[in-house]
Amino acid sequence: DSGVTQTPKHLITATGQRVTLRCSPRSGDLSVYWYQQSLDQGLQFLIQYYNGEERAKGNILERFSAQQFPDLHSELNLSSLELGDSALYFCASSVGQSAYGYTFGSGTRLTVV
C-alpha cells in the first residue's frame, strides 16, 4: 500500500457520460498530480494541485477538470466521455515539489463503451 488511495479501481461507462475519480494523497503530502496512461500516449501529465490551488496544467482536455479540497483529497471529473478516454488514470502525491519523486496510487481503470 503506497498510501495514495484511488477510487474506484474500475469504472465502465457509456460515451457521453460523466464520471468522477477520487484520490486521497499520502498523509502529509500537499501536492496531488493526475496522470493518464494509455497504450498509444503513454503516461501523460494532466494537472497538479498544491494545497488546494491549481499549480500546473499539462495535456488536459477541456472536457476534464479537477479540484483539490481543503482536506487535500482531489477529484478528477471527466465529462462527455469518448471511447478514446479509456485509460488508466493515476493520482500521485508529494510533500511539496517533486524533488524526491511522487508516490503513485494504484489507478482507476476507465473503460468507455
Partner 1 sequence: GEDVEQSLFLSVREGDSSVINCTYTDSSSTYLYWYKQEPGAGLQLLTYIFSNMDMKQDQRLTVLLNKKDKHLSLRIADTQTGDSAIYFCAEIINDYKLSFGAGTTVTVRA
Contacting partner 1 (CB under 8 A), which of 8, 43, 51, 69?
A: 43
How far is CA 74 from its chain centroid? 8
Query: Does the footprint of partner 1 cover residue 12 (CB under 8 A)?
Result: no
What is the DSSP annotation of 36-89?
EEETTTEEEEEEEEETTEEEEE-S--TTEEEEE-TTS-EEEEE-S--GGG-EEE
Contacting partner 1 (CB under 8 A), which of 48, 68, 74, 93?
A: 48
Q: Which stretch binds partner 1 (CB under 8 A): 17-25, 50-58, 65-73, 77-85?
A: 50-58
Query: Does the footprint of partner 1 cover residue 102 (CB under 8 A)?
Result: yes
The 3-state DSSP class for residue 84 equals helix
Closer of 15 and 97 to partner 1 (Cβ): 97
Contacting partner 1 (CB under 8 A), which of 28, 53, 70, 99?
A: 99
